[in-house]
Structure 1
Amino acid sequence: MSALDDRGLIERFLEMMRAEAGAAGNTIAAYGTDLRLASELLEGRLGEAIAADLERLGAAWQTLARTTVARKSAALRRFFAFLADEGLRSDDPGGALPRPGSSRGLPKVLSTGDVDRLFAVIARRQARVPADPNDLRLSALVELLYGSGLRATELVSLPRNAIAPDRPYLILKGKGGRERLVPISDRARAAVAAWRAHVDVGRAWLFPSGKGHLSRVRLHQIIRALAAEAGIPPDRISPHVLRHAFATHLLEGGADLRALQAMLGHADIATTEIYTHVDSKRLVELVNSRHPLGEALARK
């Protein structure tokens, strides 16, 4: 194929990423750069590359950081899968691309016991006399972080009336402009209603601060102070860790990974798989108890 052919194929792939996958602008730009550089290294023959060509690319990437190689490989694998799906190739050579071990550690994990201790502190605070409205705000913040998996930015920038008492969900626009439906539990709606009664009706935000809304930095500080009071090392917790706990505990309770992907707003299921850490013991137990062969063995 000519260089022009590669350019056309790359543009078709990127257009698919925009229209169907809903990828963020930065992701599309990074994929485009990686694909064009690979095309240059293969002298405009990326679209017709064979396994040996991709092994040559891997050799050329040896001096790069593992995370960079992982990103480039991911971009090319998606590109070749797209060509195969569209019938533009009869094969998919993506398996020849390097798969470097990621240096990214597993997300920090809170146990259900840790979460229980956080809510116990909140309950003690709310029982104090006289009552402090900030304790109601704390309850609403934690209920939404742990009960709905909101990102910190999404949480602090919620409009005052975003959560209705009679509607068990919220429609959010997250990364890449993707809209998603977020479930709001009865507990969270009750906590929000109790807090909103203390928010001036003239304020635009559910969690106002100064002339705007609560900052992500201040939210981080509030969550760490709560952890310290609950006897949890503050460096083990953050708003993001509570979001992760939401996903992990739902998965451990039997939630479907695709449903979690939708609730978390991930464009790629691979992100959800990393995000929702599940220990190997539970996976083994799941196979033994749910797999048809395991059930057949139990009946013998």
Structure 2
Amino acid sequence: MIPEQEIILCTEERLDEYVTYLRCEERSTNTIAKYVHDLRTFFVFLAGHPATKERFLEWKEQLISTHAPTSINSMLAAVNGFFEWLGLPGFKVKPLKIQREIFSRPEKELTRDEYHRLVETADKQQNRRLSLLLQTICATGIRVSELQYITVEAVRSGRAVVDCKGKSRSVFLPVELSRALRRYCRKQGIESGVIFRTKNGKPLDRSNIWKDMKALCKSACVEPDKVFPHNLRHLFARTFYGLEKDLSRLADLLGHSSVSTTRIYTMESGTEHVKQLERMGLVLDYS
């Protein structure tokens, strides 16, 4: 433990030690990368000066003028965790208070029709890999980082065993999806291992998938802000919940530890609530 009276400098060496600690804690690769990015942003702000709570608060104020509240809280959490690891809980700052939104924003919500247009556009452009990738995420609800578990062996058995954040769960593959993936593998000569791969046989990474999806937007007439892998996962969640109304089961399918997280995925736009109010027929004065 480092005494609080000691001058603390945020250095790359110390950051490397923290990364080693996070790996031992079995944090995911993406989580560690996010923490490292946020911590380096804080280090740049410090410009070589000692890290103090006052400087941390100054950085927080600066972020308020340039970032969204949810992004700020994520960045503060990264630095708070770093100070906790250093044995300096007194340096931590409080996150911003954010009122929970009741409705999702329609301009950010990918609709079923837009999803269909994206898939159809990918097929028209003869990008079968991308078409099936979109369908795999949307039909199973998996995270983009979990695509590596969609293998030839998983397709043969009808389910993929996914390891994420220290937890293992089974992801069942719809019959039609399995058939389409088997046909794709036969055509591409993929006999085993990861299906969504580069020409060199390596699993597609997040940046490549993001770039390929964005390239569809103009031809599919879908706003680019709506097109990213996680929005397909949200569409899966909303569709499942609309049919089953079973939040606990949906949480299991998505790999959530808490249904509180799952509720965010099932959030509807205010438009649906207005339609429900209209169907109630309680307004009698039409004059």
Provide the TM-score with structure 1 as the length reference: 0.54
CA drift at 1:229: 1.9
SS in 2 for 1:278: coil
Aligned to 2:117: 117
8 A contact 2:104–2:268 mirrored in 1: no
Q: 1:113 to 1:219 in 2, by over 3 A?
A: same
Aligned to 2:151: 159
CA drift at 1:220: 1.0
| Pick aligned residue for 1:182 from 171, 177, 189 | 171
Q: 1:120 to 1:207 in 2, by over 3 A?
A: closer
Aligned to 1:173: 163
State the Cα deviation string for residues 74-95 of structure 1 (Å, max 9, x = none).
xxxxxxxxxxxxxxxxxxxxxx
CA drift at 1:286: 7.2
Give ranges in structure 1 of 5+ residues lacking alignment: 1-23, 28-60, 73-97, 126-131, 295-300
| Pick aligned residue for 1:228 from 198, 218, 221 | 218
CA drift at 1:157: 5.0
Partner Cα distance (1:154, 1:238) in 2: 15
Partner Cα distance (1:120, 1:187) in 2: 16
Give ranges in structure 2 of 5+ residues lacking alignment: 1-24, 29-56, 78-94, 281-287
Q: How does 1:223-262 map to 2 (within 5 A)?
A: 223-262=213-252
Larger Rg: 1
State the Cα deviation string for residues 236-289 of structure 1 (Å, max 9, x = none).
211111111111222233441111111110111111111222235646877999
CA drift at 1:144: 0.5
The CA RMSD over aligned residues, in Å, is 3.8
CA drift at 1:221: 1.3
Residue identity (%): 23
CA drift at 1:197: 1.0
User: For residue 271 of structure 1, what is the amino acid of its counterpart?
Assistant: T
| Pick aligned residue for 2:181 from 185, 192, 204 | 192
SS in 2 for 1:181: strand
More off after superposition, 214-223 vs 149-158: 149-158
Partner Cα distance (2:278, 2:258) in 1: 28
Q: 1:286 to 1:148 in 2, by over 3 A?
A: farther
8 A contact 1:157–1:213 mirrored in 2: no
Aligned to 1:41: none
Q: 1:188 to 1:211 in 2, by over 3 A?
A: closer
Q: 1:109 to 1:213 in 2, by over 3 A?
A: same
| Pick aligned residue for 1:264 from 251, 254, 257 | 254
User: For residue 198 of structure 1, what is the amino acid of its counterpart?
Assistant: K
Q: 1:197 to 1:100 in 2, by over 3 A?
A: same
Q: How many residues align?
A: 196
User: For residue 101 of structure 1, what is the amino acid of its counterpart?
Assistant: I
CA drift at 1:233: 2.0
8 A contact 2:138–2:232 mirrored in 1: yes
State the Cα deviation string for residues 124-157 of structure 1 (Å, max 9, x = none).
34xxxxxx5xx32122211111111111111145
Q: 1:288 to 1:178 in 2, by over 3 A?
A: farther
CA drift at 1:192: 0.8
Provide the TM-score with structure 2 as the length reference: 0.56
Aligned to 1:140: 132
Q: 1:281 to 1:199 in 2, by over 3 A?
A: same
Q: How does 1:13-28 map to 2 (within 5 A)?
A: none
User: For residue 181 of structure 2, what is the amino acid of its counterpart?
Assistant: V
Partner Cα distance (1:200, 1:123) in 2: 19
Partner Cα distance (1:141, 1:225) in 2: 14
Q: 1:118 to 1:231 in 2, by over 3 A?
A: same
Partner Cα distance (2:230, 2:196) in 1: 18
Q: 1:213 to 1:25 in 2, by over 3 A?
A: closer
Partner Cα distance (1:142, 1:236) in 2: 14
More off after superposition, 258-267 vs 270-279: 270-279
Q: How does 1:11-160 map to 2 (within 5 A)?
A: 100-102=97-99, 106=104, 108-125=108-125, 132=126, 135-160=127-152
